[in-house]
Amino acid sequence: MAAIGKMPEKIETGLELVGLLPAAGSAERISPLPCSKEIFPVGFYESDNKPGLRPKAASHYLLDKMQIAGAEKAFIVIRKGKWDIPAYFSGGDCKHMPLAFISIDASSSAPFTIDQTYPFLKNALILFGFPDILWIPNDCFCELISAQQKSNADIVLGLFKADRPQKMDMVELDPDSRIRRIHIKPIETDLLYTWIIAVWTPRFTLFLHTYLAEWMAVDMDKSWRSSNFLRKELYMGDVIQAAIDKGRSVDKVIFHTGKYIDIGTPDDLEKAVRTWSEPRANVSSHSSTNGSNGHD
């Protein structure tokens, strides 16, 4: 990958740090596209190998941030037909961090996509993000890793102030600022924060794997018992809520001055392209060290 600035001192965790990106979606909300949305050009970067500015793919930003936090490699889960993603990352500036691709036939939701990596990542500290969400500052994963090392939580969520709560997993905090509940795409809410990224341990990886197996068993039983059964889409927020309900340790870091944009809709994609089209305005040029980014 291209140069991404000064790398912070790596936090020793005792576990391999591995990035995880789910990229198996169909991007129906913004179709048709000339390529997979995860590699849609958003902004520019200065290449290490070629003169001048080069278009930068949306997911390239996330991989940069994982590398900043010390990720040694990253796994990207794709569905069949999205071969343009490994093709894009197979050469030139995009080979600095080793990448592995897992291809699946189809996936009903993000948790099942993520679980496809279980045999490979069950002993790693996972740096998780959505490749179609751009965010600043650059060092958020570093903060999450530090928080996890201090609290020994199963999973630590990175919280950002939501601009469209009805599209997001909204996070409810209790009076002691602990995570109480995850509200999935609420129609109306006065909650402020959504989670965008996460760091989790092998304990949560195992919980996710086990929970999905149990969920599928119950789902199949209900489907067998009733021909009118409607299958509910499962979100990562549902899995995190299940972990909270079962007493798992779920921590958070609030990035008070952090910003994000989800390119999953035409309006937001247009906004992202315009916002990061200026060479010095793209998401990689921001860092919390340049301002007061308060963390809780």
Residue ranges per structural domain of the chain: 17-157+198-247+263-286
Helices (H), ranges, 52-101: 58-68, 84-88
pLDDT at 18 over 60: yes
| Domain boundaries 17-157+198-247+263-286, corresponding CATH code | 3.90.550.10
Look at the block and give the residue holding tokens 């402020």. 192
Burial (Cβ within 10 Å: 0-12, 13-18, ≥19) of residue 73: middle
Banded model confidence at residue 94, pLDDT cuts 50, 70, 90: low
**How many H-runs (helices) and E-runs (strands) does the chain carry?**
8, 13
Q: How many CB atoms lie within 10 A of CB 189?
A: 14
Residues 147-187 have pLDDT tens digits of 999 999 999 999 999 989 999 999 999 999 999 999 999 99
Task: State the Cα angle at 214 between 211 and 215, rounded to 5°.
Answer: 80
- C-beta of residue 83 within 8 angstroms of C-beta of residue 103: no
Does the pLDDT at position 249 exceed 90? yes
**Of 81 and 62, more confident:** 62
**Residue 45, pLDDT above cutoff 90:** no
* Residue 260: exposure state from Cβ atoms within 10 A (0-12, 13-18, ≥19): buried
- Please state, in angstroms and as integers, the Cα–Cα distance from residue 115 to each residue in 39, 123, 209, following that order: 22, 13, 6
Q: What is the pLDDT of residues 125-155, one digit of tens each?
A: 999 999 999 999 999 999 999 999 999 999 9
User: Which residues neighbour 168 within 8 Å (Cβ) at sequence distance 6 or greater?
Assistant: 162, 185, 194
Percentage, residues of the chain above pLDDT 90: 61
- Integer-rounded Cα radius of gyration of the chain: 19
Distance CA 170, CA 259 (A): 15
Q: How many C-beta atoms lie closer than 10 Å to residue 130's C-beta?
A: 23
Is a pLDDT exceeding 70 seen at residue 284?
no
How far does the chain reach from its first CA to its final CA, in angstroms? 31
How buried is residue 200: exposed, middle or buried, by Cβ count under 10 Å (0-12/13-18/19+)? buried
Q: What is the mean pLDDT of the chain?
A: 85
Q: What is the value of pTM for the model shown?
A: 0.87
Highest mean pLDDT among 50-54, 101-105, 140-144, 231-235: 140-144
Distance, CA of 266 to CA of 40 (rounded, Å): 12
